[in-house]
């Protein structure tokens, strides 16, 4: 009888142990399933975060627009832009630009703007801007009559795909003036270079809509907008535009050289007509006499 009771007790204990083991295995299996589910959920969430981040980056970078960083300016192109002959300068005159358009360029009477003890020309533009694309050709040509550029790059404007140059990381040396270029927006219209509070104030004062391009000549003259129609550059390469600068009858030359002559007249006015070999030219002095007081466009 005692042996039977002990046997029954051992069998009951064994059954209980098996039940506990089965229950433990069931709990472990449930825990494993929960962990696998959490891993899968975590992967899905991580993938979702990556997709959102990629989308935000694409939105903030202007979507899928392709932007070229440009290339170092071809020395042959720069030489033709900066080496226009006096004969071409005189033949073109103001060309298709207008020194008498007081809503584009004109005289002002601000305190002198100087840098490094020289009168300062301030340029405000943007890489995407087709009007800036046109104006840079004339700026480079005009200021090269007073000094030397280095580090220029060739780009095309993202709007209208016009051949031009980029002033970012370029430098300019002259004994007569200082040139301060600021490309405030890149090819996607995102901020590129910042302005000082004083530069912003001048821009807003004479261009309330803060239009591109903007030129301020030492407190004596100001220009808001391009001096000629940018579309004369449409469909052309840098080389084609540069090659045509020896032809005073070409539309591109009438625009670029004509505007460069107008800008030169303004620079001569702020440098005290120095250097004489540039500013005593009758074409330049004649353009200077056409300037009217600048009219601020609302």
Short-list 177, 194, 176, CA closest to 185: 194
Report the residue count for the chain.
Answer: 298
* Res 297: pLDDT: 83
* Res 57: pLDDT: 42
Strands 221-224 and 105-107: antiparallel
Res. 244 pLDDT band, cuts 50 70 90: very high
The lowest-confidence range among 88-102, 131-145, 202-216 is: 88-102
Structure tokens, 35: 């962990």
Q: Is the pLDDT of residue 29 over 50?
A: yes
Q: Is the pLDDT of residue 156 over 80?
A: yes
Q: Look-up: residue for tokens 């009771």?
A: 5
Structure tokens, 74: 């071809």
Q: Is the pLDDT of residue 52 over 90?
A: no
* Res 274: pLDDT: 98
Do residues 105 and 296 lie in contact, with contact meaning Cβ atoms separated by under 8 Å?
A: no
> What value, to the nearest 5°, has the Cα angle with vertex 53 and ends 48 and 57?
150
* Res 145: pLDDT: 98
Short-list 75, 85, 134, 77, CA closest to 263: 134
**178-192: average pLDDT:** 97
Q: Is the pLDDT of residue 3 over 50?
A: no
Measured over the CA atoms of residue 216, residue 221, residue 224 and residue 227, the dihedral's sign is negative
**226-244: average pLDDT:** 97
Q: Is the pLDDT of residue 21 over 80?
A: no
Q: How do residues 87-115 score in pLDDT, each as one tens digit?
A: 999 999 999 986 555 668 999 999 999 99
* Phi-psi domain of 155 (left: phi exceeds 0; alpha: psi -120 through 50; beta: other): beta
Task: State the chain's mean pLDDT as an integer.
Answer: 85
**171-180: average pLDDT:** 98
Q: How do residues 55-88 score in pLDDT, each as one tens digit?
A: 444 444 444 344 446 899 999 999 999 999 999 9
Structure tokens, 111: 């305190």
Short-list 165, 173, 296, 151, CA closest to 241: 165
* Res 129: pLDDT: 97
Strands 71-72 and 148-150: unpaired
pLDDT above 90 as % of the chain? 73
The predicted model scores a pTM of: 0.78
Res. 35 pLDDT band, cuts 50 70 90: low
Q: Look-up: residue for tokens 């584009």?
A: 104
Do residues 258 and 94 lie in contact, with contact meaning Cβ atoms separated by under 8 Å?
A: yes
Q: Is the pLDDT of residue 42 over 90?
A: no
Cα maximum dimension of the chain: 138
* Res 280: pLDDT: 97
Higher pLDDT, residue 194 or 53: 194
Short-list 88, 80, 89, 81, CA closest to 284: 89
Q: Is the pLDDT of residue 153 over 60?
A: yes
DSSP string, 225-240: S-SS-GGGGTT--HHH
Short-list 203, 143, 131, CA closest to 179: 143
């Amino acid at each position: 009888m005692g042996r039977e009771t002990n046997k029954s007790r051992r069998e009951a204990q064994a059954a209980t142990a098996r039940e506990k083991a089965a229950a433990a295995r069931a709990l472990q299996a449930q825990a494993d399933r929960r962990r696998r589910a959490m891993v899968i959920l975590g992967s899905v969430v991580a993938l979702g975060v990556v997709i959102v981040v990629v989308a935000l980056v694409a939105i903030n970078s202007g979507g899928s627009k392709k932007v070229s960083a440009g290339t170092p300016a071809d020395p042959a192109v720069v030489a033709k832009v900066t080496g226009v002959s006096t004969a071409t300068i005189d033949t073109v005159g103001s060309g298709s630009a207008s020194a008498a358009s007081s809503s584009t360029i004109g005289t002002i009477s601000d305190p002198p703007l100087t840098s490094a003890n020289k009168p300062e020309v301030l340029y405000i533009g943007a890489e995407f801007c087709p009007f800036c694309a046109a104006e840079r050709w004339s700026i480079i040509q005009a200021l090269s009559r007073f000094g030397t550029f280095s580090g220029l790059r060739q780009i095309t404007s993202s709007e209208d795909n016009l051949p031009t140059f980029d002033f970012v990381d370029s430098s300019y040396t002259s004994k007569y003036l200082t040139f301060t270029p600021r490309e405030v927006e890149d090819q996607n219209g995102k901020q590129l270079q910042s302005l000082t509070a004083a530069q912003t104030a001048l821009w807003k004062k004479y261009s309330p809509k803060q239009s591109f391009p903007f030129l301020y000549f030492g407190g004596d003259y100001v220009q808001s907008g391009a001096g000629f129609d940018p579309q004369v550059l449409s469909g052309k390469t840098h080389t084609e535009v540069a090659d045509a600068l020896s032809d005073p009858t070409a539309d591109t030359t009438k625009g670029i050289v004509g505007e460069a002559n107008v800008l030169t007249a303004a620079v001569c006015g702020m440098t005290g007509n120095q250097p004489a070999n540039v500013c005593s030219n009758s074409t330049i002095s004649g353009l200077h006499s056409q300037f009217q007081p600048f009219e601020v466009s609302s």
